């Protein structure tokens, strides 16, 4: 590297910092002028790494972000639980088990009723979504663990096959 290249690298972060500072000076509401999430992150009570995400959401969503910001954590947790349900479903399908569909059908039938009966407000709605996804994830976890433990027990291999041949996938 030449001396010119090493001198130019430090100036790039300075320009980015200056641009963010100017944005905060001229449009303080856009970068979190006093809202709860930003203040918690800056005071050390939240993750400092969420600040760029908050800024990105504010740029993308505008003022609507402010009204829904209190429900984001609950909805994020609910979507994480939904991902676990999806993972469990894929596991069960890979084992050619289909009884988990009864659990999913029950969740699909009950969740709209729960959400319709939720008290008004984004936080209560997000809490109901979290409860529904938590029940679904817990049920799927129980089913997956039961399948795993039943698969661990050796079954009767049938005539002409020894237990070691079944375990290794070979026939005698």
In a domain, 160, yes or no: no
Both 75 and 142 in one domain: the answer is yes
In a domain, 20, yes or no: yes
pLDDT in tens, the chain (172 residues): 555 555 555 566 667 667 766 766 666 555 555 566 666 666 666 666 666 776 776 677 666 666 777 788 888 899 999 999 999 999 999 988 888 999 999 999 999 998 888 888 888 889 999 999 999 999 999 999 988 766 555 555 555 555 555 555 554 4
Give residue 117's pLDDT: 86
Both 79 and 49 in one domain: the answer is no
- By residue range, what is the domain housing residue 50? 3-62
Close Cβ partners of 34 (under 8 Å, ≥ 6 residues apart): 28
Cβ burial of 145 (10 Å; 0-12, 13-18, 19+) is exposed
In a domain, 87, yes or no: yes
Both 141 and 80 in one domain: the answer is yes
Both 76 and 148 in one domain: the answer is yes
Report the sign of the C-alpha dihedral through residues 139, 71, 68, 16, in that order: negative
Both 78 and 139 in one domain: the answer is yes
In a domain, 96, yes or no: yes
Split into its structural domains, the chain has a count of: 2
In a domain, 31, yes or no: yes
Both 48 and 111 in one domain: the answer is no
pTM beyond 0.85, yes or no = no
């Amino acid at each position: 590297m030449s001396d010119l290249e090493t001198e130019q690298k430090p100036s790039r972060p300075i320009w980015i910092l200056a641009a963010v500072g100017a944005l905060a000076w001229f449009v303080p509401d856009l970068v979190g002028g006093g809202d709860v999430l930003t203040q918690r992150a800056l005071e050390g009570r939240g993750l400092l790494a969420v600040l760029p995400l908050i800024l990105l959401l504010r740029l993308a969503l505008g003022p609507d972000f402010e009204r829904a910001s209190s429900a984001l954590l609950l909805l994020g947790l609910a979507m994480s639980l939904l991902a676990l349900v999806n993972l469990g479903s894929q596991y069960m399908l890979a084992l050619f088990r289909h009884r988990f569909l009864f659990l999913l059908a029950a969740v699909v039938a009950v969740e709209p009723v729960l959400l319709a009966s939720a008290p008004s407000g984004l936080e209560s709605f997000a809490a109901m979504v979290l409860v529904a996804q938590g029940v679904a994830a817990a049920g799927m976890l129980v089913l997956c663990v039961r399948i795993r433990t039943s698969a661990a027990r050796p079954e009767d291999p049938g005539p002409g096959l020894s237990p070691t041949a079944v375990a290794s996938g070979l026939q005698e």
